[in-house]
Each structure stands twice: as structure tokens, then as C-alpha cells.
């Protein structure tokens, strides 16, 4: 081990020790600091950048749940005859936050538009997970400048995960002063008041809370479509994988109460939704922060009794995926047998420095347990290549794990250092060509495995939840099977929103072609 490696190893050791030690002293110190962490409009003087040590010393039970949300009286009509547009980057959590912001703006009288030129309010709901996600947003900010110059009354806001980063806020303050407001992920419910401030203030309105907020129930939502719906079950993440910015941008784990979630799902079922996806950054940690003994398995056990055809959940963390959940999922019914189970790497050593808290072997054991009771379950995953120090051999372990598990698809990423995370302090010592080459090889394997999985469907009949016209041909409808396979087939438009049997005639790498089963006089 050379000097540099020794230093890095020590850092990892320190980091792991740190995760474990949350002494009372530190908690008390944090308690006293909390009020300072509320970043007000005069952001620069009080702003605290994402701080690993501080973030890890979070308090458990200081989250309140509010049921009394309402739009301030004076803001209820402010959007009359005006339009809004929200551009969303990143994950489903962001997509769902956009639905909430669309709900707030609609309740203020605004109407939705797809055209930036006619928008009175433009919001960029941003993602910070990788550098290229951030670059896209800065590109879009650049495009908005001429529009703002043409229409100075237009309000442009930047929100979402990037707003939680000090460097991003500074860059916007310095280089893009035409932006009217910046707000974070913990204060979405403050949008009406922030908008009002932005309209009447000459300065940029910046309100980013470093400390995570309370849980605000009963926020209005305008959902995208009336077939599938997202339901938040928890917010934040306490896992602190060493590469990941999410625990800083989304704050600590906070679970919604089971009764609030169940009520929302029941309501969606009554409205005719065919599918819900339960959302959280690490859904398997659901309930850990509640004051009673209740987990994701218990929640799924309740939700499976609700009359809604399909229930999914994302994203899982292998470490917290417990036997109770497996036992409940095995009962099937509306709980679909597709599990997205991010593995990140096939090497136990890489997993250790990623602080994933499981090994290749324990991941495989979890897969074995799942397959034992759900033999036909589809497994998909997320993988990062080119993590600092990842050797060729370690990368090969990812390739063999990919085959061994038989993942039917995978989201694959080149490691991207994120400021403020432990891994960003280590040397990013894998050359870009090597990372790209690894990614290419991995993607080739992912495509092969996807194609093989698709081919097994040829000649079989699958149930497809029809979502709408296919992107390429309006004469063709498309939708997804329970195991999340995209199916294209010809059928009357009246089938949109229904679950119908389709016979698969042709398998492609990422989709299936089929024919509506003829005797479908009545749809399922």
C-alpha cells in the first residue's frame, strides 16, 4: 500500500467510524445549530454548504407532520390569465415534486403551457446526481436569458436538488442574475409565497433550507395522466453511500404515516388509476424513523388489499430489503413481480468503499431468497463503473454478477464526483477512456441480456396496461406489462387506460411487438 492509498484507506476508516458514532453531545450541539441552518433570502451570509459530518449527526424525531396546508388568500388569484411551464430533470421523485408544484400553481389560477415563449412562470426542477445532469440545466438557463430580456415580467425559478448545492447557488448569483428565484427541495410548499416575493422584489429570492423540512400533507397535485400515479412514502436518505449527493440534497429519512399513504392510494384507486408506484430514495428504510414498529413489508401488506391492479415501489436498497417484505411480495396479487434492486458494483471491495454495507455474496443471497419465493421475478439494477480505484478485475466482477443474477435491464453510469461527498475527495484515478470502455462493454452485456429476456415472451400472452399512442406511430398503442416490458400493438384508442391481453409476435432489445388477443370483447 503506498502513502496515498494508506491515506485514502484511513479516510474510509474514519468515515465508517463516523457513520457509527452519533454521540449525544453532537446531537445536542446540532440541536442548538438548527436555527442557523435555515437559509433566508440573504443566502450568502447564512448559507451552510452540504457538510457530511453535520448531515450525519441528524436528529431522529424532530419532524412534524402538517395537515393544514392552504394557499395564502392573497395568492389564490395571482395566476389568473397566466401560464406556467416546469422542466423536470432526474428521477421520479423530481417528476412527482413537479406534480406538486403544478398543483400549487394551478390552485393559484395559472394554466399549464408547453411553450416557454408564452409562459409567465418557468421553473427548472433540477437534478444533481451526476455532472452531466447539472450541465443540461446550465444549458437551459442560458437558453432562457433571451426570453427574459424580451419579457422581463417572466419569472424564472431554479428548484430541486441542484439548488441545495452551495456552488450552484453561487454560480447562479454571479453568472445568471436574471434568475428570479432559487428554492430547495425542503420548501416546495413555500412556492406561493416565494413567487409573490419574486414578483415584487428586485433582488433574486433565494430560500434554501439546509435542514430538512417537516412533512406537509394535503399539498395539491396535478398528476401527469390518469392511469399511473406516484405516491411518496418517505423523503430523504440516511445511507450516505460515498459517491452520492442525495442525502445532502434531500435530507434525512422521513417516513409518511401509513394511514396517510393508504388513504392516498385508496383515493387513487377510487379515481380509476390502474397503477401506483410507491416512491422513496431508499424505500426499504421506510418506517425506521416512525415511533412504532412498522416497515415496508407491513405497508405493502396493507396496500395489496386495495383494489388497484398494480403496485410498484422504487428504489430499493439491498441492505434493508428484509424477509418480511419478501414474504409479502411473494403473495403476488397486485404486487408486481418486478424488483429494481441497485447493486452498483459486483466487487465486495468496491462496495465497501462505496459504503453500500453489503457484499457481492450477501447481495446474491438476497437474490436467491427473492427467487425462491418469486421464481419468475424480473430483476433490474443500477451500476456505476469507474469508481475511484476500481481495477480491471473488480470491473470483471461486475460483469460476472450481471450474468449470474440475470438482470433483465440496468441503468449504467460512469462515476461522477459530487462535491461534498467523501468519494469526491479521493483521486478520480481511472482514465476516462477506461471508464468509457468499461461502460461500453457493460452496456453491450445489458443489451444482450435484455434481448434474451424479451425473446422468452415470443408466442406468449401478456397483460398490458395501455398508456397511449406509441411515440413513433400514432396508429400503434403502447403500454407496459407487470414486469415492466414495453409492448407495442395495434388496437382502438378506447383501450387506452385499460389492461388488455396481447400476444407477443416479435422481441426487440428494449420492447416487444404484439397483437391484441382477438376475443377481447371485454377488457380485463
Binding-site entries: 91, 127, 161, 237, 241, 244
> Which does residue 237 touch among ligand SF4, ligand 5AD, none (CB within 5 to 8 A, set by kind)?
ligand SF4
The answer to whether residues 8 and 426 touch, using CB atoms and an 8 Å cutoff, is yes
The three state secondary structure string of 298-330 is: HHHHHHCCCCCCEEEEECCCHHHCCHHHHHHHC
* 412 lies in the site for ligand SF4, by CB under 6 A: no
Among 126, 255, 282, 380, binds ligand SF4 (CB under 6 A): 282
The answer to whether residues 264 and 217 touch, using CB atoms and an 8 Å cutoff, is no
Min dist. Cβ of residue 139 to ligand SF4 (A): 25
How far out from the chain centre does Cα 321 lie? 18
Among 237, 269, 311, 343, binds ligand SF4 (CB under 6 A): 237
> Which does residue 384 touch among ligand 5AD, ligand SF4, none (CB within 5 to 8 A, set by kind)?
ligand 5AD
Q: Which residue has the cell 441552518?
A: 37
* 154's grid cell: 417572466
* 239 lies in the site for ligand 5AD, by CB under 6 A: no
204 DSSP 8-state letter: P
Instruction: Spell out, one character per residue from 121 to 150, where the chain touches ligand 5AD: x when CB under 6 A holds, - when not.
Output: --------xx--------------------
Q: Which is nearer to ligand 5AD, 317 or 498 (CB)?
A: 317
> Which does residue 415 touch among ligand SF4, ligand 5AD, none (CB within 5 to 8 A, set by kind)?
ligand 5AD
Alpha-carbon separation of residue 392 from 86, 398, 512 (angstroms):
42, 10, 35
* 415 lies in the site for ligand 5AD, by CB under 6 A: yes
Q: Compute the distance between CA of residue 360 and CA of residue 368 in angstroms, rounded to an integer.
A: 12
The answer to whether residues 61 and 289 touch, using CB atoms and an 8 Å cutoff, is yes
* 485 lies in the site for ligand SF4, by CB under 6 A: no
Q: Which residue, among 79, 184, 75, 170, has the nearest Cα to 125 in the 3D structure?
A: 184
Q: Which residue has the cell 415580467?
A: 153
- Interface with ligand 5AD by CB under 6 A: which range of 115-123, 157-165, 358-366, 415-423? 415-423
* 343's grid cell: 447493486
Q: By rule CB under 6 A, what count of residues binds ligand 5AD?
A: 12
* 422 lies in the site for ligand 5AD, by CB under 6 A: no
Q: Which residue, among 123, 207, 141, has the nearest Cα to 178 in the 3D structure?
A: 141
Min dist. Cβ of residue 161 to ligand 5AD (A): 11
Long-range CB contacts (within 8 A, 24+) of 515-520: 515/489, 515/490, 516/489, 516/490, 516/491, 517/461
Q: Which is nearer to ligand SF4, 281 or 488 (CB)?
A: 281
Min dist. Cβ of residue 413 to ligand 5AD (A): 4
> Which does residue 491 touch among ligand SF4, ligand 5AD, none (CB within 5 to 8 A, set by kind)?
none
Asked if the bond preceding 315 is cis, omega within 30° of 0, the reply is: yes
| DSSP-derived pairing of the beta strands 234-235 and 181-183 | unpaired
* 384 lies in the site for ligand 5AD, by CB under 6 A: yes
* 205 lies in the site for ligand SF4, by CB under 6 A: no
Among 50, 184, 258, 342, binds ligand 5AD (CB under 6 A): 342
Q: Compute the distance between CA of residue 406 and CA of residue 251 in angstroms, rounded to an integer.
A: 34
* 344 lies in the site for ligand 5AD, by CB under 6 A: yes
Q: Compute the distance between CA of residue 465 and CA of residue 61 in angstroms, rounded to an integer.
A: 40
* 246 lies in the site for ligand SF4, by CB under 6 A: yes
Partners of 126 in the β-ladder: 160
Min dist. Cβ of residue 282 to ligand 5AD (A): 10
Q: Could you list the residues that contact ligand SF4 (CB under 6 A)?
A: 237, 239-241, 244, 246-247, 281-282, 317
Interacting residues toward ligand 5AD by CB under 6 A: 129-130, 243-244, 342, 344, 382, 384, 413, 415-416, 418
Amino acid at each position: 500500500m503506498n502513502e496515498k492509498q494508506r491515506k485514502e484507506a484511513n479516510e474510509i476508516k474514519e468515515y465508517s467510524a463516523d457513520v457509527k458514532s452519533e454521540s449525544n453531545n453532537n446531537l445536542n450541539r446540532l440541536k442548538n445549530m438548527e436555527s442557523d441552518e435555515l437559509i433566508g433570502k440573504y443566502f450568502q451570509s447564512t448559507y451552510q454548504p452540504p457538510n457530511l459530518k453535520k448531515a450525519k449527526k441528524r436528529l431522529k424525531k424532530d419532524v412534524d407532520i402538517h395537515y393544514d396546508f392552504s394557499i395564502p388568500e392573497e395568492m389564490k388569484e395571482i395566476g389568473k390569465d397566466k401560464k406556467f411551464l416546469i422542466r423536470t430533470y432526474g428521477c421520479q421523485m423530481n417528476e412527482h415534486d413537479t406534480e406538486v408544484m403544478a398543483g400549487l400553481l394551478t390552485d393559484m389560477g395559472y394554466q399549464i403551457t408547453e411553450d416557454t415563449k408564452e409562459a409567465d412562470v418557468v421553473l427548472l426542477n433540477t437534478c444533481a446526481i451526476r455532472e452531466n445532469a447539472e450541465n443540461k440545466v446550465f444549458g437551459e438557463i442560458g437558453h432562457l436569458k433571451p426570453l427574459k430580456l424580451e419579457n422581463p415580467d417572466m419569472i424564472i425559478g431554479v428548484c430541486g436538488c441542484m439548488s441545495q448545492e452551495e456552488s450552484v447557488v453561487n454560480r447562479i448569483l454571479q453568472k445568471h442574475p436574471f434568475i428570479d428565484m432559487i428554492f430547495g427541495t425542503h420548501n416546495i410548499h413555500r412556492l406561493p409565497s416565494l413567487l409573490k416575493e419574486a414578483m415584487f422584489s428586485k433582488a433574486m429570492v433565494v430560500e434554501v433550507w439546509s435542514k430538512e423540512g417537516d412533512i406537509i400533507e394535503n399539498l395539491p397535485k396535478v398528476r401527469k395522466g390518469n392511469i399511473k400515479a406516484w405516491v411518496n412514502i418517505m423523503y430523504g436518505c440516511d445511507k450516505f453511500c460515498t459517491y452520492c449527493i442525495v442525502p445532502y440534497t434531500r435530507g434525512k429519512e422521513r417516513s409518511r404515516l401509513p394511514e396517510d399513504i393508504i388513504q392516498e392510494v385508496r383515493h387513487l384507486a377510487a379515481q380509476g388509476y390502474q397503477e401506483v408506484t410507491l416512491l422513496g430514495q431508499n424505500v426499504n428504510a421506510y418506517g425506521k424513523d416512525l415511533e412504532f414498529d412498522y416497515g415496508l413489508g407491513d405497508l405493502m401488506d396493507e396496500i395489496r388489499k386495495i383494489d388497484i391492479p398494480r403496485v410498484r415501489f422504487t428504489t430499493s436498497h439491498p441492505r434493508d430489503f428484509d424477509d418480511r417484505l419478501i414474504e409479502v411480495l411473494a403473495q403476488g396479487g397486485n404486487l408486481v413481480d418486478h424488483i429494481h434492486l441497485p447493486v452498483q458494483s459486483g466487487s465486495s471491495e468496491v462496495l465497501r468503499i462505496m459504503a453500500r454495507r453489503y457484499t457481492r455474496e450477501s447481495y446474491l443471497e438476497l437474490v436467491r431468497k427473492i427467487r425462491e419465493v418469486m421464481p419468475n421475478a424480473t430483476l433490474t439494477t443500477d451500476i456505476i463503473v469507474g469508481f475511484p480505484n476500481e481495477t480491471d478485475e473488480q470491473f470483471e466482477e461486475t460483469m460476472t454478477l450481471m450474468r449470474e443474477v440475470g438482470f433483465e435491464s440496468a441503468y449504467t453510469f460512469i462515476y461522477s464526483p459530487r462535491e461534498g461527498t467523501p468519494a469526491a475527495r479521493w483521486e478520480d484515478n481511472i482514465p476516462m477512456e477506461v471508464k468509457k470502455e468499461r461502460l461500453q462493454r457493460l452496456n453491450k452485456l445489458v443489451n444482450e441480456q435484455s434481448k434474451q429476456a424479451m425473446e422468452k415472451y415470443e408466442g406468449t400472452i401478456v397483460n398490458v396496461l395501455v398508456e397511449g399512442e406509441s411515440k413513433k406511430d400514432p396508429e400503434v398503442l403502447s403500454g407496459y406489462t407487470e414486469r415492466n416490458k414495453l409492448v407495442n400493438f395495434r388496437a382502438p384508442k378506447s383501450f387506452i387506460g385499460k389492461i388488455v391481453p396481447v400476444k407477443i409476435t416479435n422481441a426487440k432489445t428494449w420492447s416487444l411487438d404484439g397483437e391484441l388477443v382477438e376475443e377481447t370483447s371485454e377488457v380485463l
